[in-house]
Structure 1
Amino acid sequence: MHRGGRGFGHGGGFGRGFGGRHGHDDDGRGRRRRMFDGGELRLVLLKLIADEPRHGYDLIRRIEELTGGAYAPSPGVIYPTLTLLDDMGLIEAADSDGAKKLFAITAAGRVELEANQGAIEALIARLTEVGDERQRTDSASVRRAMGNLKAVLMNRLGDRDLEEATLHDIVALIDEAAQKIERL
């Protein structure tokens, strides 16, 4: 039922950095890598719709939840993919109370899910890993401490009577803290 391309379940991962360390989320040339390759987004959407019928924005929110807020696909990516899945006969519009179109999986969609179960499990695991990494590196206590440091620095550095020796002491303290954190 697939029309050309690399097909579902084929292709690479998210690329370097999504879920990686030290903020390297580019392709080595300073450009951000795409979160999904080939048919990966189609598989994720198909799985989420199989879990329960969903609207487009529900799918966006669910992916954002899985990644801990690190990634939310745009409507300009989601809706064309939903149209493609519908054209392929893998999902269909279901009865909906409101104006939003609710999508449900078809029998052909379930067959496609079964055929790509391993790839789908890997995709969901990677999305969850991105969320877990985000949770580890973006905790509220770290953000609070960074904000506190910034406020203290701005206040202290704004002092017109700040002596050069004090400024050097501040720089030394920041460098020392950075080195200690790096060694953790």
Structure 2
Amino acid sequence: MGRFFDHGDLRLVVLKLIADKPSHGYELIKAIETAAGGAYTPSPGVVYPTLTLLEELGYVVASEAGGGKKLYTITPEGEAFLVSNEQPVRSLFERMAEAASTSAAFSPQILRARENLKTALRLKLHGGQLTAEQIAGVAKALDDAAATIETL
């Protein structure tokens, strides 16, 4: 799969999400992932520079929200920019909704199984000292699961 967004598209998506609800960077990453049905999850290395650019352009302002987090809020300039790009923004969100409708990433069965695996792994890894044999067994089980999934 190629790039999910073209140059400048993520800026519009992030700005629209902030217009809908002032957010932290992590919340924006999760909102985009959800809107795209898991078909795309932007990395922090893409989202945070986008937020910095939007701030430099005067489209958002960041305020300290405690714990080193910044809360981003849209400015009147950002709102005007969104209005002037209403059709491209609508098209981007339609494309994300279409991707979400065909994505299996958030299917209940896969979510349940993924959470079961994460829980079992967390309990095993944090339940005490593992022997070399146990570590090898966990690694083999994970490798086997990955190989099985790849062949589906």
Q: TM-score w.r.t. structure 1 length?
A: 0.56
Q: Which residue number in structure 2 is paired with residue 87 of structure 1? A: 56
Q: Which residue number in structure 1 is paired with residue 120 of structure 2? A: none
Counterpart Cα distance in 2 of 1:40 and 1:48 = 13
Q: Please say which of residues 78-87 and 96-105 is displaced more in the overlay.
A: 96-105
CA contact (8 A) 2:36 2:96 kept: yes
Counterpart Cα distance in 2 of 1:63 and 1:123 = 11
Q: Which residue number in structure 2 is paired with residue 99 of structure 1? A: 68
Q: Which residue number in structure 2 is paired with residue 75 of structure 1? A: 44
Partner AA of 2:30 in structure 1 = R
Pairwise CA distance, 1:70: 1.4
| Structure of higher CA gyration radius | 1
Counterpart Cα distance in 1 of 2:58 and 2:94 = 26
Pairwise CA distance, 1:78: 0.3
Counterpart Cα distance in 1 of 2:13 and 2:92 = 7
Number of aligned positions between the proteins: 112
Identical aligned pairs, as a percentage?
48
Structure with more relative contact order (C-alpha pairs < 8 Å, separation 6 or more): 2
Structure having the higher helix fraction is 2
Gaps of 5+ in 2: 111-152
Counterpart Cα distance in 1 of 2:109 and 2:10 = 33
Gaps of 5+ in 1: 1-31, 143-184
Alignment of 1:126 with 2:122, yes or no, is: no
Q: TM-score w.r.t. structure 2 length?
A: 0.67
